[in-house]
Amino acid sequence: MPTVLDKGPLASIIFEMRTWLRCMLPYTPYVAPFYPTPDSVINRVLDLTSVRAGDTVYDLGCGDGRVLLAAARRGARAVGYELDVELVRDAVESARKAGLEHLVKVVKADAASADVSDASVIALYLSDHGNSRLLKSVQATLKPGTRVASFYFPVGLPGWQERLLTKDNADGLNVYVYKAPSGQQHKEE
């Protein structure tokens, strides 16, 4: 079955527009439309967070699973949350095709409900508001010190700017890497 991006230019544009529109609906759980991270940036995200075998990488809003796959190719376990059923199907299918389904898990659910207690790395490519909403929601299970990389959008929550390890701009596209603060630090700000 073709992926959402393989159905031709018109179908891809319509799909993209649909993902924009649903972000604008009142009370929507969607905090970002679907835009895949470029491959060069994915490698940068994984290099900057030193992903290797033994890591567990979460992608909150995993789209078609390309970050999960790249992490699994490095031997890491990868867990993605995604609301869109077609993207979930694409992510599961590409893990299967790559023979990496033993390392990749895709959950069709609001990433705000994720238990990230076993994450060593979290990858984000959402929006300013999406970063804040999802990180606030998973804060209770987020271990202090977890490496958190956000493509394009910084984390604007109190206590995070001080925990910025790197702002990498290698090809003109920003990747922000943080060490997650403790819940206490969060509250004190």
Residues within the interface to ligand SAM (CB under 6 A): 19, 29-32, 34-37, 59, 61-63, 66-67, 81-84, 87, 110-112, 125-126
The least distance separating ligand SAM from the CB of residue 60, rounded to whole angstroms, comes to 6
The least distance separating ligand SAM from the CB of residue 64, rounded to whole angstroms, comes to 7
Using an 8 Å Cβ cutoff, are 111 and 81 in contact? yes
The least distance separating ligand SAM from the CB of residue 143, rounded to whole angstroms, comes to 20
d(CA 159, CA 28): 27
**Closer of 130 and 159 to ligand SAM (Cβ):** 130
**Closer of 62 and 116 to ligand SAM (Cβ):** 62
Which candidate, 6, 9, 21, places its Cα nearest to that of 86?
6
**Closer of 7 and 182 to ligand SAM (Cβ):** 7
The least distance separating ligand SAM from the CB of residue 110, rounded to whole angstroms, comes to 4
Three-state secondary structure call for residue 184: helix
Which candidate, 14, 114, 139, places its Cα nearest to that of 62?
114
Dihedral of the alpha carbons of 10, 16, 18, 21, in degrees to the nearest 10: -130
**Closer of 123 and 180 to ligand SAM (Cβ):** 123
Using an 8 Å Cβ cutoff, are 68 and 104 in contact? yes
Using an 8 Å Cβ cutoff, are 123 and 59 in contact? yes
**Closer of 137 and 185 to ligand SAM (Cβ):** 137
The least distance separating ligand SAM from the CB of residue 1, rounded to whole angstroms, comes to 18
